[in-house]
Amino acid sequence: MEGTMDGAAMAGKDSALLGKTGAEPRAGDQEEGLILAVETSCDETAAAVVEGGTRIRSNIVSSQVAIHRRFGGVVPEVASRGHVEQITAVMAAALEDAGVHPRDLAAVAVTYGPGLVGALLVGLMAAKTFAWVHGLPLIGVHHIVGHLFAHRLAGGPEPPWLALVVSGGHTELIYIPNDHTFEVLGRTRDDAAGEAFDKTARALGLPYPGGPQIDALASSGDPERYAFPRSWLEEESLDFSFSGLKTAVLNLLNDARQRGDGVRPEDVAASFQAAVVEVLVEKTVRAVRRYPGVPVVVAGGVAANSALRREMDRRAEEEGFLWSAPPLALCTDNAAMIAAAAWPRLSRGWFHGMDLNARANLGLEAWAAGDGVAAFPPDDPPDGRRRN
């Protein structure tokens, strides 16, 4: 079951979190593989129960969008406070909707980076407390890996595959040869694509979050009205750069304002969006040419953008590759994707200890190598603990 909840709806939903204390960590029924996952890396308080890494039993998201809209963007301290207020009830609702008791679980998974450190700490402390109380192993998950695995919840491809991750804080091209290896082919050198959407929306006077607002406004605009720059960087580079595009939009609006000229916001939005989408898709196609026959998954909040999906359809048909994206509800932050990403770690027997801490700038490579893993099979230690 998937759903969203507000504070009133969640009042009193914390009884399922009560239980014994001080139990030794144990792996639950791994055959069924029920994982309770928690996600609080930014402004969504989320918890989910997923079976076997693919079947969503519950997926609860408490959104703070209405709160942060007043400020024109996410305020970290406000986000942290919101998580504190909602986390217990959200976790209880996830268990209740799934019809699951803590004793049925195999593990607890939680995002511990990257993200807003205060927000991460709220979810991490809640997950660690729950795992300790109920004697369950803890699996710390990299937020971007969650986005990478969201497509698995909708029957997406098995490895190997290529991923374009586009969100408010990240823009990366990643090659995934197996469930445990992530090769970053390119990443943004400045602004992420989602960040550029939000800043352009703010410049146009649109409410937060900016991505959906730009998408809607652009639908009635001319994408060729303004020739905004496309940054291709070095010839062979798969990196991205959107700061120049953002600056070009701001300069256009400022110049028009100083001259007293009018601009059609619809045309600005459409021209901006066309520039972002062209670069994202072209870089993805270049990656596909390096790995012919490998399917592509587009993930992250910007994966919901309608122009991006249309252009991916067009280029995929031209180039002869397959691509997919998670359902719109799984493109934005949620905890079901964190459970999906934790499943390979559960199967592998890699668990974190109760000393796991939030990592605002957690690197993908470090996580894949076993950052912070405290328990593991003797014949499969993390890279940093291999014996000669």
- Is 97 flagged in the annotation as binding? no
Residue 83 counted as an annotated binding residue: no
Q: Is 78 marked as a binding-site residue?
A: no
142 is in an annotated binding site: no
Query: What is the DSSP code string of 251-276?
Result: HHHHHHHHHT----HHHHHHHHHHHH
> Known binder of ligand: residue 166?
yes
**147 annotated among ligand-binding-site residues:** yes
Q: Is 143 annotated as a binding residue?
A: yes
Contact status, residue 165 vs residue 144, Cβ threshold 8 Å: yes
Sign of the alpha-carbon torsion through 329, 42, 182, 374: negative
Q: Is 165 annotated as a binding residue?
A: yes
Look at residue 296 and give its three-state secondary structure.
strand
Per-residue b/e over 243-275, b at no fewer than 16 CB within 10 Å?
ebbbebbeebbeeeeeeeeeeebbbbbbbbbbb
Tokens coding 224 = 């060729």
Q: How far apart are CA 27 and CA 342, in angstroms?
A: 13
Reduced to 3 states, what is the DSSP secondary structure of residue 104?
helix
215 is an annotated ligand-binding site residue: yes
Contact indicator for 211, 200 with CB cutoff of 8 Å: no
Annotated binding-site residue? 100: no
Q: Is 12 annotated as a binding residue?
A: no
Query: Are 370 and 382 in contact, with CB atoms under 8 Å apart?
Result: yes
Q: Determine the Cα–Cα distance for residues 383 and 349; give it in Å rounded to an integer.
A: 15
Specify the pairing of strand 161-166 against strand 296-299: parallel
Residue ranges for the binding site for substrate? 165-169, 198, 211, 215, 305
Residue ranges for the binding site? 143, 147, 165-169, 198, 211, 215, 305, 333
Residue ranges for the binding site for Fe cation? 143, 147, 333
